Amino acid sequence: MAQPTGTFDSYDSKGNRESLSDIIHNISPMDFPFQSMCDKGKATATYTEWQLDELAAAATNNAVIEGDEATLDASVATTRVGNYSQILDKTVVITGTQEVINKAGRKSELAYQVAKKGKELKRDIEATLCANQAQVAGNASTARKFGSLGSWITTNDSFGAGGDGSPTGNGTDARTDRTQRALTETLLKSVIQSCWTEGGEPSCVMVGPFNKTVISGFTGNSTRFDKGEDKRLTASIDVYESDRLH
């Protein structure tokens, strides 16, 4: 079937308005689980300190005779540790022309870009907090850096072949990675147990998307069943109940 001669169609027109949605869809992940679980405080200096202490090991031979003269126990001082503040930034430069012209999806280009950079900055903070970064005091030509999570964990950890990769545990040095290995339920239970033995009460496991699928395959001491009539297969685990983690 042919188009009649002289037909003026959309291909010929030069004045048709564009069809552009007034919504901007951001497809980037926007979760910040580690930051959300952390307590918040205010730093009043570039280096913030706190004190740590621990109890003496439990003794099973603590028994004295009636009326005995007390023997003084030695007191152990607290441990003083700290971390540096780190400056992170995102910058925006918008021309006056771009700010005033008519735009789709936002009224103010400056406000939109500032909000976007703010979200990017929060993602940078989340990634750095969970990284393996040692403290850097900084100077006039070197940026300060805080010791991230990987530089503080010195016990209740588990490494592959190559020996102990634990840092000192005060943020001054980074963890030394060892041979990678597959995550197993046995490894997870072992670390949960060591955390509890040392006085910890773990309540959350943070893993990447691949290991999340691995954890969803754990069966514990039970057999998983799915009702055939539901026509639905459950393949994820969001709550893992162990002896000390749930």
d(CA 207, CA 180): 15
Residues 35-71 as b/e (b if ≥16 CB within 10 A, e otherwise) read eeeeeeeeeeeeeeeeeeeeeeeeeeeeeeeeeeeee
| Mean pLDDT in residue range 203-224 | 84
| Mean pLDDT in residue range 216-227 | 72
d(CA 140, CA 163): 38
Mean pLDDT of the residues in the chain: 90
Share of the chain above pLDDT 90, in %: 68
Residue 104's pLDDT is 95
d(CA 123, CA 120): 5
Q: Do the beta carbons of residue 134 and residue 171 sit within 8 Å?
A: yes
| Furthest-apart CA atoms within the chain: distance in Å | 120
User: Residues 134-164: pLDDT tens digits?
Assistant: 999 999 999 999 999 999 999 899 999 988 8
Give, as one character, the DSSP assignment of residue 57. Answer: P
Is residue 240's pLDDT more than 80? Answer: no
d(CA 218, CA 238): 11
Neighbours of 34 (CB within 10 A): 15
Quick one: which H or E segment has residue 83? strand 79-84
d(CA 54, CA 39): 21
Q: Do the beta carbons of residue 122 and residue 32 sit within 8 Å?
A: yes
User: Residues 58-87: pLDDT tens digits?
Assistant: 899 999 999 999 989 999 999 999 999 999
Residue 156 structure tokens? 């209740």
